Structure 1
Amino acid sequence: MALSAKTREAVTKTMYAYASAYGRKDADGVAALLAPEVIGIGSEKGEWVEGRDEYVSAITRECAAFDDISLEYGDLRIAADGIIAWVATPFEMTITADGRVRHLHGRLTAVLMNTWDGWRFVQTHFSVPEGGEE
């Protein structure tokens, strides 16, 4: 399961394309990076969505609640086998809402699949542990 430089670069590019689209509150940009069967999991009750439409609806609701948002990753730990890659990374999400800035420090795991259209997310799990918010 040696990770090729080409795969590392492509998966990294997809990860940062997600962060960029999310930071622009661009639901269509996020949707373009998702497999149709994507599953998204968060750390709050009810944060489980299945399928691209549900995922995009959740992103749209989140973005509507914030004036500004950014997503920054720590060191991306990437592994792959064939057309499947998995990623684990710490993240910091900075959210501005109602004039208040919040910093969420969490962990992200993701599974991506290499499709004809490029690497697409098939599963994401954003988790903010207790005490992970400033």
Structure 2
Amino acid sequence: MRVSEQTREQIMAVLRRMTDAMGRKDIESLVSLTDPEFRAFGTGADEKAIGREAYRRHLERDFAQAETVALDLSDVHIGAEGTVAWVMADMTYRFVVDGIGETRDVRMTAVLRGTGHAWVFTQAHYSFPAGGQEEGRSYPTN
């Protein structure tokens, strides 16, 4: 569905606030961007958050383990209808843990809800592309 320029700019502003808050490790700002019933899957086997408080605990754990984090989005696609919007983007996630810097390519999908005053995340899913899966192949091989 084609998205108005106004809606696109509003959603992009929320995404920028999210990436900025991640770089500051600002838990309160990140939680404020979510619906009370927010749900998310992270990349770890145990990373499933249902509700704001679960998301807060997830962020506290992440930020306690990393000296720095930085997140950049690219190839952002936005769709919307009424007060619901969806996002698909590539992410570059950079972090330093135990003094060692790493960069990971991650994928993100998210659903946002317009409240009349702001757009908030209602759902998010982060994943790594399958390792061992060659380009052009539908299934990973060992």
Match of 1:70 in 2: 70
Provide the secondary structure at the position in 1 that maps to 2:45: coil
Q: Which amino acid aligns with 1:53?
A: E
Shift, 1:22, TM fit:
1.0
Shift, 1:129, TM fit:
2.6
Shift, 1:130, TM fit:
3.9
Q: Which amino acid aligns with 1:7?
A: T
Percentage of matched positions with identical amino acids:
33
| Structure having the higher Rg | 2
Q: Which amino acid aligns with 1:45?
A: A
- Distance in 1 between residues matched to 2:83 and 2:20, nearest whole Å: 24
- Distance in 2 between residues matched to 1:3 and 1:56, nearest whole Å: 31
Unaligned runs of 5+ in 2: 132-142
- Distance in 2 between residues matched to 1:53 and 1:18, nearest whole Å: 17
Shift, 1:106, TM fit:
1.1
Provide the secondary structure at the position in 2 that maps to 1:75: strand
Shift, 1:56, TM fit:
1.2
Per chain length, whose mean CA-contact separation is higher, i.e. which structure has more relative contact order (CA < 8 Å, sep 6+)? 1
Match of 1:45 in 2: 45
Q: Which amino acid aligns with 2:78?
A: I
Cα deviation code 1:81-134 (max 9, x no counterpart): 000000000100000111100111010000000013300000010112344xxx
Match of 1:30 in 2: 30
Name the count of aligned residue pairs: 131
- Distance in 1 between residues matched to 2:69 and 2:44, nearest whole Å: 18
Q: Does 1:54 align with 2:54?
A: yes
Match of 1:116 in 2: 116
Q: Which amino acid aligns with 1:86?
A: W
The CA RMSD measured in Å over matched residues stands at 1.0
Provide the secondary structure at the position in 2 that maps to 1:8: helix
Match of 1:100 in 2: 100
- Distance in 2 between residues matched to 1:44 and 1:33, nearest whole Å: 22
